[in-house]
Amino acid sequence: MADAVHIPDEAETRARWGAFAWSEENQRKANEILARYPKGREQSASIPFLDLAQRQVGAETHTQGWLPVPVIEFVARAIGVPYMRVYEVATFYTMFNLAPVGRYHVQVCGTTPCMLQGSDDVLAACRNRGLVKGGTTPDGLFTLTEVECLGTCANAPMVQINDDNYEDLDYDRTIAVLEALAKGAHPEAGSTIGRRASCPEGGPTSLKAMVDANHDYRPEWENAHAG
């Protein structure tokens, strides 16, 4: 169990990614990121650089992107720190993919709040759509991962797909999101039942007088105390 996925460092990975370098646009971004940190503190750019590199790999492979070992080494060279130090960072954060993923990386939250709100249905929907946990669909579209809390408990259950969260899901809406993505559409991120951020479902349940204009509740509290 303690052994996580094998990190590919085969000859073909080296051959494919050994010559990795920033694209012109990313080079500009990288310069900008590096400029945020004082001289001698280039190591601080580890995470933003790894993220940028993963996005570039994603763009090149038309997937969400991952971090082959030669790319990690490229990042380490770019900020002048030993390979091991960047490698530690890349393995620590789950947002960095150490193995190739599909076009859409579907991360289903299965932690308690989501589970109570029906994340089992969401997972079932994914499974019935052909997604396999820890694997990529044959068409290279979806990679399914079950993850721990992504901090969207108020809108549970939720999935994170690449950079977007899809919230308030049930079986059908999950299928709908996946279908839309498969068609190449870009379904609107956020709540799938139309609520804004984590506003209460079906309108406000408290502080109702505040909805349209500011309202001073303080006199009412005084009365309440008096009573």
Partner 1 sequence: MPKLKVDGIEVEVPQGATVLQACEAAGKEIPRFCYHERLSIAGNCRMCLVEVKPGPPKPQASCALPAADNQEVFTTTPMVKNAREGIMEFLLINHPLDCPICDQGGECDLQDQSVAYGRGQSRYAENKRAVTEKYMGPIVKTIMTRCIQCTRCIRFAEEVAGVEEIGAIYRGENMQITSYLEEAVTSELSGNVVDLCPVGALTSKPYQYEARPWELRRTLTIDVMDAVGTNIRLDSRGRQVLRCVPRINEDVNEEWASDKTRHAIDGLVRRRLDKPYVRVNGKLLPATWDEAFAAIAAVDHGGSVAAVAGDLVDCETMYAAKALVRSLGSSLLEGRQTGMAYDTSSLAAVNFNTTIAGTEEADAILLVGTNLRWEAPLVNTRVRKAIKRGAKVFAVGPETELTYKVEWLGHDLSVLGDLPDTVAKIFADAGKPMVIVGGAALKDGHGAALKLVETLNLVRNGWNGFNVVHMAAARMGGLMLGYAAKGGIADLTHAKLTFFLGADEVDYSRFGGFKVYVGHHGDAGAAHADVVLPGASYAEKSGTWVNLEGRVQRGERAVFPPGDAREDWSIFRALSDVMGARLPFDSLAGLREEMYGEVPALRHEGLVSFGWSVPAIDGSASGTIGGYPIKDFYLTNAICRASPTMQRCSAELVHGETFAEAAE
199 is in an annotated binding site: no
In the complex with partner 1, the residue whose CB is nearer, 1 or 224, is: 1
Q: Does 10 bind partner 1 (CB under 8 A)?
A: no
Describe the strand order of the beta sheet including 104-109 as a list of residue ranges: 142-147, 104-109, 159-161, 164-167, 190-191
| Chain Cα centroid distance, residue 198 | 18
Q: Which of 53, 69, 71, 169 binds partner 1 (CB under 8 A)?
A: 69
- Interface positions, 165-224, toward partner 1 (CB under 8 A): none
Torsion of CA 7, 81, 64, 29, to 10 degrees: -170
CA distance 78 to 44: 12
d(CA 1, CA 100): 21
Which token pair is 109?
Answer: 């939250």
Six token digits for residue 160: 């994170």
126 known ligand binder: no
Q: Which stretch binds partner 1 (CB under 8 A): 88-96, 108-116, 188-196, 205-213?
A: 88-96
Whether the CB-CB separation of 105 and 147 falls below 8 Å is answered with: no
Q: Which stretch binds partner 1 (CB under 8 A): 19-27, 77-85, 162-170, 205-213?
A: 77-85
Among 2, 19, 197, 226, binds partner 1 (CB under 8 A): 2
The mark string for 92-121 relative to partner 1 (x by CB under 8 A, - otherwise) is x-----------------------------
Q: How far is the CB of 13 from partner 1 (least distance, A)?
A: 12
77 binds partner 1 (CB under 8 A): no
* 87 is an interface residue for partner 1 by CB under 8 A: yes
* Cβ burial 146-164 (10 Å sphere, 16+ → b, else e): bbeebebbbbbbbbbbbeb
Q: Does 1 bind partner 1 (CB under 8 A)?
A: yes
Q: Where are the alpha helices (DSSP H) in the chain?
A: 11-17, 24-34, 46-61, 69-79, 83-92, 112-116, 119-128, 171-182, 218-226
Annotated binding site: 109, 114, 149, 153
Binding-site sequence positions for [2Fe-2S] cluster? 109, 114, 149, 153
- The site for partner 1 (CB under 8 A) is made up of 1-4, 7, 9, 69, 82-85, 87-88, 91-92
